[in-house]
Structure 1
């Protein structure tokens, strides 16, 4: 039994506390860094209020009792944008990331996680009318009661790329010959979501992705990794940032953190999927900045969904 599990059992806390802590990237060693602001992220749902209060009381009692034995370490600070690459080895603490995001965009941290469920039926109605791409139309039609919620959420997000199509163009050089390419729907999807059959396959896929990005002269940005032999039966969800993987219990949670990495570290959205990330930013999080690029089809999709 690991120390985090022991902490939960010794304090007679609900096992849900353990699951939430693991989802947030916490270990026994960094329980000491949890502050009041972090509790709303660890227990984000309204029905968790009693659980949050009980956990807070037991945690702070434990911290007071073990104060002399706890390491005198400081909570990691957010990494300045210009030093992102130099600090990728340590990776961001997920709860610290949430804290920094909330300071950057107050009261916007639960935009996706609270709005997604209500948006799903609207997206399905919208796709029934406007989804034209044959592959994604077939994928959308495959959704039935046998598909688990996270697989359904992933497919609905991927279909979004087929109605908010990329318009990015770039130059490809083969020897002395230059040619122009327009980003495809698949390019847009692949810059946000990578599907692998198992985690052990990841390295080969990352190398292929790196070669593709070298060809288009664009850096590899944070993205979501989904694990499963079929999109309709996904089992694991990660966010890739630098050389680190962060595991989450659902696709929506992974997508939420991936978006927040872009925001907190001031990273540019990939050119291929810029429109889709812009849609999430405006529609799900209600965030606008002076640097936003307005896309007419993003505006149109948002207006249509708001009318539903």
Structure 2
């Protein structure tokens, strides 16, 4: 029973109270007896208490119902012939958790709905009650018609074995016993790409996603099928209605959206080229109006993105051909100083390097393990490298996502130490950065937020001393690698707060390319390694660092 209360509180996003419930000897049986006064004694914060009471109310209603709960994709009374009482509300999907359901035979589900990948971002569902709409959608003459999925189901094991990424996922799982967040993202992409490879507009039946979710659970035994797919639910009795959810559904919509965006950009570029040929003066007027609007406005965001895209070619070209500094550019477009301003830099990068935007999330998880393995061997004779791994023996956690993020940070911090440091030449002096300076130049680690402004001032003063321009850089805050709380990218006087270290590296790298900046002089080889090894980009300004080619060779990667 203790394991059951652990699972319930975890699924309700209240796992921090597991100890309190155990201390008070509350298990799944006594959970049904709690009232508001008892809950107030157990959970003091009002927000957490409200969340618990909401979930408890639904849990009690379901547990006390004499009839077993049946959910149906079309009719809520007919979904499962072997349904069981459901005792868990999954907070992530705002619906019933499938971990509590006995879903062993998909053939018992009657007349499943199909996911229609329509031209908008929403998911359409077909039911017996939507006969008119069904006829319209499925009619070959209809403009909304999508080809039905008629291909033979391909086993997940075959999809994984046929690609390098898939084999790396299997290898990672065999070595670690769990999947990382990046492995899950990669796994979903492999499945969806395989489903859509012949026709991007094909209609994917929901039972296909369901089967893949079950296969994921079978191959990777610590994964939960409901993480990847939770079907459409419409239960009139409990007043529960929710769209299909899960990583596979999200990935499917994202790939469709990316395709539509690429097609739209192609059309926009073609239209722009035609207008330039035939209506040059008119285009210049529109361009000037869009630029003027961006210089004076910062919202609404949807309009900002639209005008930013329309002016991308002009702005990026001007930055490369003019003497305009980063400070002047940031001041010229105040929207870049907003917390979400970095998203505009990402849009410009996608304009400059189409198809390269997500490579860090695809390539670095593969590079990471190779870098760590190589660095640990080197650390035996390098005390500076050894410091990165000194906490490894004491690092124990069941949270594979957190463990993966810590190892990502370790791999990144090891790069400047493995690649060495070039000779930095300023106008007044020649400065050879130490290994510590090379590491801090790439990612600066401080312990508390109180040190943030002092650290930036000290860094700026050092660069002024050597008469070198301070370029965008990364600062992370936390007492050690296992407890990093904040990830910042600093550009001029603008602070961008990111979610993970990989996000911070991604934004910082793309800002160099978009703003036409040089890499920080003390870690130029590190950023060029990321440019070549991760993003697979070459520029006319690349320097020939032997250490980069040597490291790529040593970890078994191709030299671009």
TM-score higher than 0.5: yes
Unaligned runs of 5+ in 2: 1-90, 94-119, 121-184, 190-246, 259-299
User: TM-score scaled by structure 1?
Assistant: 0.72
Please give the secondary structure, in 1, of the residue aligned with 2:357. coil
Which residue does the alignment assign to 2:329?
A: 87
Map 1:288-303 to 2 at 5 A: 288-303=538-553
Asked if structure 2 preserves the Cα contact closer than 8 Å seen for 1:152 and 1:232, the reply is no
Unaligned runs of 5+ in 1: 1-13, 17-35, 37-42, 57-69
Q: Which moved more, 1:151-160 or 1:257-266?
A: 151-160
Which residue does the alignment assign to 1:269?
A: 519
Map 1:181-220 to 2 at 5 A: 181-220=431-470
In the TM superposition, what is the alpha-carbon distance from 1:51 to its structure 2 partner? 5.4
Greater RCO between the two (CA within 8 Å, min separation 6)?
Answer: 1
Question: Is 2:405 aligned against 1:150?
Answer: yes
Q: Distance in 2 between matches of 1:159 and 1:52?
A: 33
Q: 1:166 aligns with which of 416, 421, 440?
A: 421
Question: Is 2:99 aligned against 1:99?
Answer: no
Map 1:186-265 to 2 at 5 A: 186-265=436-515
Cα pair distance change 1:293/1:73, threshold 3 Å: same
In the TM superposition, what is the alpha-carbon distance from 1:54 to its structure 2 partner? 10
In the TM superposition, what is the alpha-carbon distance from 1:111 to its structure 2 partner? 1.6
User: TM-score scaled by structure 2?
Assistant: 0.41
Q: Distance in 2 between matches of 1:51 and 1:72?
A: 20
Larger radius of gyration: 2
Asked if structure 2 preserves the Cα contact closer than 8 Å seen for 1:140 and 1:156, the reply is no
Q: Which moved more, 1:85-94 or 1:197-206?
A: 85-94
Which residue does the alignment assign to 1:108?
A: 356
Please give the secondary structure, in 1, of the residue aligned with 2:521. coil
Q: Distance in 2 between matches of 1:53 and 1:159?
A: 33
C-alpha root-mean-square deviation of aligned residues, in Å?
A: 3.2
- Give aligned pairs, total: 253
Q: Distance in 2 between matches of 1:236 and 1:165?
A: 27
Question: Is 2:387 aligned against 1:138?
Answer: yes
Please give the secondary structure, in 2, of the residue aligned with 1:224. strand
Which residue does the alignment assign to 1:64?
A: none
In the TM superposition, what is the alpha-carbon distance from 1:181 to its structure 2 partner? 3.7
